[in-house]
Amino acid sequence: MSVKIFDTPEVQQFLRAVANLDGQGGDPRTKQIVHRLMSDLFKAIDDLDITPDEYWTGIAWLNELGTAGQAGLISPGLGVDHFIDLRLDAVDEQLGVENRTPRTIEGPLYVAGAPVEHGFARLDDGSDESGHPLVMQGTVYDAEGKPAPGAQVEVWHCDTRGFYSHFDPTGKQAPFNMRRTIIADEQGRYRFRSIVPSGYGVPPGSPTEKLLTALGRHGQRPAHIHFFISADGHRKLTTQINLAHDPLVNDDFAHATRDGLVCEVVERTDEASIKAHGMDGPFGEINFDFHLTALVDGVDNQINERRVRAAA
Ligand code: MBD
Ligand code: FE
């Protein structure tokens, strides 16, 4: 049996009351958004005949999600983070701004306050013994295409088990392991040594995994490295590179892989390269440049005030 009550004056008036649209006080934007979201939910319940059982299953899942701190984890899984990127791209297209280095999602695992180094940093502390050494380097370019000395390269990635420091369920990693801020040198260059990260998987048995499983999806990400790139007079770039050798490079549960962000890790085994980078044996090398964009009318029109978006 199917009933449709959404369009009745009673329900429409009820929705206005729920969001206090006609009353005093509160924040107008919050009222507008809550009114719209609750209207969309009521309409979905009506249209899809969502049963009380289904609804309360959803509420229990939301409680579980909140307890696990995973709202910021299911968000990219359901594509919202990528959708927001697509909207920022569309705004830039309208403004005539070209992003030579594509933006892509931040994810929930950034931690502010990583150690700051100049020109070069070693990200890993050597404790991940199965890690294959990695050197990544390149130049940060400004909006005019010139190198950007002093640009800030914030970088973070996971270990060979797919765990990030500060969110490591085994508690094994030291704070800020595989997280640094590198200040680009006089030539706008940055370079770091670390290990080749593995892919990431959402926590087994978690509410995030349960929903993905119900959709017939996995919760895996290909190996990737995150970046915030910033410089005076420029918009902050949020991006990642995805490693080409990972079989999931184009099957990312978080929908972050983009053209222009897939990097090969080139294996260096020759003595000259090993010496030049101060390595003790063969290592993988990634070369990647970042291109920044200018402020728009003197401001970063995309700035995203950092919120805590931690996931387990
Ligand atoms: C990650 O490492 C990540 O980058 C995203 C987007 C989601 C979950 C884990
Ligand atoms: Fe990540």
Distance between CA atoms of residues 242 and 244, nearest Å: 6
Where do the domains of the chain lie?
9-73, 80-311
- Mean pLDDT of all residues in the chain? 96
Joined tokens for residue 298: 């003197």
Q: Can you tell me which residue has the tokens 């048995």?
A: 205
Counting ligands in written order, which one lies closest to the CA of residue 209?
A: 1
CA of 158 to the centre of ligand 2 (A): 7
Counting ligands in written order, which one lies closest to the CA of residue 74?
A: 1
Distances in whole angstroms, Cα of residue 239 to Cα of each of 35, 161, 205, 230: 33, 22, 29, 11
Mark the residues whose beta carbon lies below 5 A from ion ligand 2. Answer: 107
Q: What's the CATH code, domain 80-311?
A: 2.60.130.10
Helix axis angle for 28-48 and 9-18, nearest 10°, is 140
pLDDT at 238 over 50: yes
Q: What is the pLDDT of residue 308?
A: 54
The per-residue pLDDT for range 81-93, each reduced to its tens digit, is 999 999 999 999 9
Q: In the structure, what pLDDT confidence band is assigned to residue 311 with cuts at 50, 70 and 90?
A: very low
Residue 29 DSSP symbol: H
The pTM score is 0.96
The helix/strand count (H/E) of the chain reads as 7, 14
Q: Can you tell me which residue has the tokens 């130049």?
A: 139
Ligand 1 proximity of 76 Cβ (cutoff 6 Å):
yes
Among residues 226, 253, 169, which one has the least CA distance to residue 203?
169
The per-residue pLDDT for range 276-295, each reduced to its tens digit, is 999 999 999 999 999 999 99
